[in-house]
Amino acid sequence: MNNPYRPLVAALVLYGTGAPAFGQQNTSDALEEVIVTANYRDAALMNTVGSISVVGQDTISERAAQHLEDVLNAVPNVTWASGASRSRFVQVRGVGDLEQYYDPKYYPSVGMMLDKLELGDSANAGMLFDVAQVEVLRGPQGTRFGASAHAGMINIRTHAPTDEFEGELSGGAGNYDSYNLGLVLSGPLSENLKGRVAVQQNNSDGYIDNDRLNRDATNDFDELTARTRLQWTPTDRSSYELSAFYFDSDNGLDAWSLDNDRTTQSDQPGKDTQETLAFTASGNWLLDDEHTVEATVSYTDTESHYRYDADWVSDELCQTYLCSFGNDTAQEIFDRDRDRLVADLRLLGGGNDLGAGESRYVIGLYANDGSETLDYSYPSIWYGNYSSSSDYDTDRYAIYGEYEYQASDRLSLTAGLRLERFEDDYKDSNAFSTDGSDDLWNAELSARYDWTDDTMVYATVARGGKPGGVNTTASANQPWMSPAFQDFTAEKLSFDDETLWNTEIGIKTRQFDQRLSLTAALFYMDRDNAQLENWMWDDSAGLWIGYLDSTSGANSYGLELESTFLVNDRLELFANVGWLETEVDSIAAFDLDAWDFVDKQDRDQAKSPNYQYNIGARVSFTQQLSGRLEVEGQDDSYYGYYHDGKLDSYDLLNASLQWTSSSFGVTLWGRNLSDEDYAVHGLYFGNDPRDDFGAFQNETYLQLGQPRTYGLNFTYSF
């Protein structure tokens, strides 16, 4: 690892390693307890089975994080790919989607919840304003969430309404003409009713200069987030909550440069917009001291528009350089409208605390009805004005349960099972249609042993199931493919159910009078019929074809190590380390360099760096003044299977300085202070028409991450 911050890393490792609850401020001589809310029952992080990271409110504030992508680098063995204005494609332990274009993706492998709302395929809306903490659960969470959390789950928990009136006005400004302004109001509305409203506007010009149009905001951010929560407690034995969520983004999309820099030549910059409106209603009824009924109903409506300049160039560029075939002026345009209605009903039996020989259980029913319409167009002077439309409907029904038995004062056993029925129906304007159904099952068996009062060890085996389906783009276009590609895709027009087995052992402990917390997990994940995203270019037919290939198995194993060490009341050290080894048994692909179909053996999975780390310190200079310094990075990784290109490794330096009083807070922050160029997504193909550069030869194109950014944020509480 060629790490320019090696001396700092080494010094910090001498004191501690990682942070399961990043940024939980401490004014005492012991670490605060962190509560995980993503499971059936809230529980302390150090008592919860499984590899879980919790990013706290302080870390969100100190990193000046606006979106989920601004904090995920602090979580081991979690990566993300961009391919859009925000990095909404998340991978856990190497498993997850890389991008989405034409085909409807049935479910992301990594789920996302906002309180009790399933965001899932609307992850652009993962904004962090007024968020209390982000919980990242690694490994299949199928018993709790089904196919929605095949590889893991990200649970975003916002602040709840308060018993006393309070409010907060916040704002900030930074380079690249970035600014944000937010308002929070919370408190009682009547004796049994309280509410909370949070609204924020976030804007930035982005980090791209468009040389053709002489503009610096063609890849900008324009995002409005609004949330309301109402909580009503009419009796001691019942409570209700109604929440609304609105997200409206009008972001630019002009991210790709022929020269892999932040200067583009496109004459038709794209857009990445999303408007989401969602409502959630839930109820909780205490039947007696040991039986509770919980019910949740949510509705989500999302409209998105995604378009980009397909050839990235302009007529002017082709006047400066001799361009083969000139400028196409093509765009690729996707208009989607998604609706989803979800209902979840469960009975919880047993007490919150179990004694030896006691047990508790959960029994639940789940239903999810979703629909998606897609209007697609590709206006091109080379290939014509192609357009199509499609409708995709899904239904999911599940029955699930979990049983926990306290075998002794120190040993507890848990078993969970979820049976899920999946049905879908697809049709498009090309007269192609298909319908399918799958019966899936998810299961988990775990044991927890309290070695001492401060240390527990666990072992768990979990099975996740993800439905198969039809590669609609490949199927609809097969009649127009050249013969060799028709033969190749004959067995790839559909993909099978994927099964993922995760075996894991771990330890969680607190030592030195609760000043040191340490969690470690060793895991092995085995995928049968691994659904791997792949692409092929049929030059004779002029077709790019994307598809899911499930003809191979894959496996991964590794380590997650996290800890926090409160050296004294002024110094807190943390680090997070992830190690990951992955392998795809065999995958056939059309290799653009070999210009032939090849069989790739024992390849690393895409977006699976061998190591990741986040190490740093938080220092309290006075009661009001504190600072945070951290280094984070990851190894190189493949970003596809149709080539052997890799995203390079990188190391980033972040820092912040905070001043707080009873009412005011000011944060001076900086990310990527060394201004390192690093990639968050990659493509490999021939797209440069300039003859001087070897027209249309295959090249790696990179979507770059944030450059050096810095700014000043403030809060005023009242």
Q: Mean per-residue pLDDT for 576-583?
A: 97
Across the chain, mean pLDDT equals 91
**Host H or E run for residue 77:** none
- Check residue 28 and give its pLDDT: 58
DSSP 73: G
* Residue 463 confidence (pLDDT) above 90: yes
What is residue 410's DSSP assignment?
S
pLDDT band at 692 (very low <50, low <70, confident <90, very high): confident
**Mean pLDDT (whole number) for 29-43:** 90
Amino acid at 268: Q
With pLDDT > 90 as the criterion, what percentage of the chain qualifies? 74
- pLDDT surpasses 80 at 103: no
For 224, half-sphere exposure in the C-beta direction (CA atoms, 13 angstrom radius) is: 8
| Domains by residue range for the chain, with CATH | 6-160+272-308+328-717 (2.40.170.20)
Q: Is 138's pLDDT higher than 80?
A: yes
Rounded-to-10 torsion of CA 308, 312, 315, 319: 170
Give, in order, the Cα–Cα distances in Å from 559 to each of 9, 122, 281, 460: 19, 30, 39, 15
Q: What is the mean pLDDT of residues 90-118?
A: 84
* Structure confidence at residue 7 (pLDDT): 41
Res 82: pLDDT:
82
Rg (CA), the chain: 25
- Which SS3 state, helix, strand or coil, does residue 480 take? helix
Alpha-carbon distance of 15 to 584, in angstroms, equals 37
What separation, in Å, do the N-terminal and C-terminal C-alpha atoms of the chain show?
48
Q: What's the CA angle centered on 699, arms 696 and 704, to 5 degrees?
A: 125
- Say how many residues make up the chain: 718
DSSP string, 414-434: EEEEEEEEEEEEEEETTS-EE
604 to 102, 622, 639, 678: CA distances (angstroms): 26, 48, 10, 20
Cβ neighbourhood burial of 666 (10 Å; 0-12, 13-18, 19+): middle
Nearest to 556 by CA among 142, 99, 96: 96
Residue 25 has a pLDDT of 47
pLDDT higher than 60, residue 9:
no
Q: What is the pLDDT of residues 155-201, one digit of tens each?
A: 999 999 999 999 999 999 999 999 999 999 999 999 999 999 999 99
